[in-house]
Amino acid sequence: MSSSTPLLAVDELSVVFHRKGHGETRAVDGVSFSLEEGRVTGLVGESGCGKSVTSLALMGLLPERGVKVGGSAVMRLSDEGEDLVEADLLKVSQRRMRDLRGTQLAMIFQDPLSSLNPVVPIGVQVTEILKRHRGMRGAAARKEAADLLYRVGIPDPTRRLNEYPHQLSGGMRQRALIAMAVACKPRLMIADEPTTALDVTIQAQILELLKDLVTEEGTALLMITHDLGVVAGLCDDINVLYAGRAVETAERGPLFADPTHPYTVGLLGSIPRLDAPRGEPLTPVRGSVNDNIAWADGCAFAPRCDHYTMECLQGPPQLVRMADGESGSPGGAGHVHRCVNPISHADVVDRAVLESPAVAGDDEEERG
Amino acid sequence: MLRFIVRRLLQLIPTLGGLSILLFVWLQRLPGGPEYALLPDDATAEQRAALRRSLGLDEPLAVQYLTFLRRIVQGDLGTSLQTSRPVLDEFFLRFPATFELAVTAMLIAVTLGLPLGYLAARKRGTVLDFAAVGGSLLGICTPVFFLAFILKVVFAENLGLFPSAFRLSPGLSRTDITGFVVLDGLMTREWDVVTDALAHLVLPGLALASIPLAVITRMTRASVLEVMGEDYVRTANAKGLHRTTVRTRHVLRNALLPVVTAVGLLAGSLFAGAVLTESVFAFPGIGSFVYAATQTRDYPVLTGFILLIATMYVFINLLVDISYSLLDPRVRAQ
Ligand SMILES: Nc1ncnc2c1ncn2[C@@H]1O[C@H](COP(=O)(O)OP(=O)(O)OP(=O)(O)O)[C@@H](O)[C@H]1O
Ligand code: SF4
Ligand SMILES: [Mg+2]
């Protein structure tokens, strides 16, 4: 953390889809978090809670029509000189965003096979980004592409340059995609469940590769995952999302030691373990995501919560910061949750309200 | 690759064999044989029977079929009843005209259909999209014969923009080398011949292009829409590539794969479509010849034509498969 401002500060990000005949879907409903260089930030939560939409919003890759994005995502673009160059990723022009993608921020996706163009050789898919952002051409670009493939652990890279995606194994494909993502040394990388489609042994290798990147290059990694082992083994900071909002945010230690939000407790299972083996999914929580109420009316998790009281249905619960030392582990200062009846390991003393009550307009939103 | 080609060519034998049997049975069942078409109305029953006998039509079907097979193996499609010349010679004579017409139609269909389908996909839901989708529906529904007739009446007879018949204006002198008028004109630099021949190709070309144009537009549109939603297009955008790179290398390259197959199948159907178009424009190709053959029950010509189309289909399919394997590395591997 070289600077006092974070690399990326996401503030009250919201994404609303409008579809004819479907009304509105609030896929992301006010999510805030920040990313630091050299740290891995996890985004966890059940299917449909808005993880992918959050990452696509940051990348500017949401569909152009029928989407309303709110909030801000300010990224520090350079530290050179005294001037701080910043850009709000949600507001820059599409043109500028194309310059930033690949150079400042990059993304790898869940399914490596479908994420690669089946009819274009791997080499071209790597060199095209070198041409675009680093002005490299011909033999120099091919050499750099081979180096990149080699660096992400692809043996015999020169031969691979001429091959097509279907000729590579699943792990190799994901490595190739990582090579493309790191080709221009972006300072921020987003990985959306990068190992879900891979074998368990390959998963571990890919995670190791990502971890090395973060430590060696000081990249900030936003890691989206369902995997408890990945959360425990890789993420420094964790944001637990539920129905488009963060319900608990903490560093890894405090979160595993003192999960406070009933949903987090449910996800981590009855005995949260830091040494959870990789590949172990987050514990499913009783009920389904569809059993929720609008955040405007109260806690969206209430229908599935064992701890709910009438208080939970009096408007949206506020984000609450846990007092210093209250959390069992050091570093608990950034431990925040959104619950009126937190599971207490120590009582929540300081109920510092971190956000203003919902604005009146929120109440009009109805979920289908 | 060679083995693949040989295997595909061997498929021709059962295909043509089966088809020729079907043809034989079917032609036999058509009411009114050549003895009615070729002889005057007041011909006697004996005269008609004599003609049938001289054509070998009184033999049992199986015998007729075997005779036919024996001749085909020797490269003999029989003799045209209309012209009393070998069917194959008649086809060779008229093939260049039909080929030129078919190529013109395909060029029109591809050069208009691809951009139109692509733009319709990009501008989905706009007026342009509706126009393209609606227009192509109209193109598929309108009978070629009817369209050809309208084009001829409006643009040739009323507006006089294009000639209404034949391949060349009468009286125009030209050097015949290959039989392909446009090609000969280009080779001998007889530019007046080239422009005149092209002018004669416009209206029949448009009429014949209508169905392929509509199909290509729709297929391109659907294919581009599908590819635009693919993960690898998202990856290409995530890499910050220029819009044009994403559109050409990642969207079009993949979207055109299914269109190639369609173009091949449509190319085969053009020869069948030429029958009506050519007859409307008195275009001296195989099509108008075959149209006349249907009027006179010229069995050898009809049989030969259908076998010719079937052979073309097999060859075109082969070409499609070969080009597909060049375009799609996943197919190449198998
Ligand atoms: N293009 C879209 N149009 C309309 N709604 C969408 C669109 N994309 C996503 N959504 C909705 O947004 C919500 C969040 O989706 P998202 O893909 O972010 O979930 P996720 O947390 O990534 O889930 P998973 O773990 O299954 O990947 C879902 O309810 C989904 O239906
Ligand atoms: S606010 Fe209430 S319903 Fe929501 S998680 Fe906390 S206890 Fe459960
Ligand atoms: Mg997702």
Average pLDDT (B57-82) is: 84
Measured in Å, residue A338 CA sits from the centre of ligand 2 at 8
DSSP-derived pairing of the beta strands A245-251 and A336-337:
antiparallel
User: How close is the nearest chain A Cα to the Cα of B205, in Å?
Assistant: 34
Cα–Cα distance measured from residue A325 to residue A332, given in angstroms and rounded to the nearest whole number = 7
Residue of B nearest to A126 (CA): B239
Which residues surround the ion ligand 3 when the cut-off is CB under 5 Å?
A 52
Cα–Cα distance measured from residue B142 to residue B140, given in angstroms and rounded to the nearest whole number = 6
Contact A108, A179 (CB under 8 A): no
**H-run or E-run covering A128:** helix A122-134
Average pLDDT (B90-107) is: 93
Contact B106, B273 (CB under 8 A): no
In which band, very low, low, confident or very high, does the pLDDT at A364 lie, cut at 50, 70 and 90?
Answer: very low
Which of A340, A348, A351 should be mutated for ligand 2, with most atoms under 8 A from CB?
A340
Write the CB contacts of B73 (distance below 8 Å, at least 6 apart in sequence): none
Contact call for B330 and A129, based on CB within 8 A: no
| Closest Cα to atom 8 of ligand 1 | A53
Which of A44, A53, A288, A291 should be mutated for ligand 1, with most atoms under 8 A from CB?
A53
| pLDDT at B334 (0 to 100) | 55
Residue A22 CA: which ligand 1 atom is closest? Answer: 4
Find the radius of gyration of the CA atoms of chain A.
21
Residue A307 CA: which ligand 2 atom is closest? Answer: 7
Long-range interactions of B86-92: CB distance < 8 A, separation 24+:
B87/B300, B87/B301, B87/B304, B88/B304, B90/B289, B90/B301, B91/B286, B91/B304, B91/B305, B91/B308
**pLDDT at residue B213 greater than cutoff 90:** yes
Of A115, A118, A133, the CB nearest to B240: A133
Cα–Cα distance measured from residue B65 to residue B71, given in angstroms and rounded to the nearest whole number = 10
Q: Which residues line ligand 1 (CB under 6 A)?
A: A 17, 19, 25, 27, 45, 47-53, 63
Is some CB atom of chain A closer than 8 A to the CB atom of B42? Answer: no
Cα–Cα distance measured from residue A243 to residue A301, given in angstroms and rounded to the nearest whole number = 8
| Closest Cα to atom 22 of ligand 1 | A52
Of B112-116, B288-292, B302-306, give the lowest mean pLDDT range: B302-306
Q: Which amino acid does the sequence have at B19?
A: L
Contact B144, B273 (CB under 8 A): yes
In which band, very low, low, confident or very high, does the pLDDT at A315 lie, cut at 50, 70 and 90?
Answer: confident
Per-residue pLDDT reduced to its tens digit, B220-262: 999 999 999 999 999 999 999 999 999 999 999 999 999 998 9
Is some CB atom of chain A closer than 8 A to the CB atom of B11? Answer: no
| pTM for this entry | 0.84
Would you list the DSSP string of B39-66? Answer: S-TT--HHHHHHHHHHTTTTS-HHHHHH
Is some CB atom of chain B closer than 8 A to the CB atom of A162? Answer: no
What average pLDDT does chain B have? 89
Structure tokens at B274: 């030429």
- DSSP 8-state class, residue A319: P
Q: Give the 3-state secondary structure of residue B307.
A: helix
Distances (CA, A) of A143 to A123, A184, B319: 10, 15, 37
Q: Quick one: which ligand is closest to A46's CA?
A: 1
| Closest Cα to atom 10 of ligand 1 | A27
With beta carbons under 8 A apart, name residues in chain A contacting B235: 109, 115-117, 177, 180
| pLDDT at A168 (0 to 100) | 94
Average pLDDT (A51-77) is: 93
Cα–Cα distance measured from residue A226 to residue A249, given in angstroms and rounded to the nearest whole number = 16
With beta carbons under 8 A apart, name residues in chain A contacting B240: 97-103, 129, 132-133
Of B239, B243, B327, the CB nearest to A119: B327
Average pLDDT (B23-36) is: 76
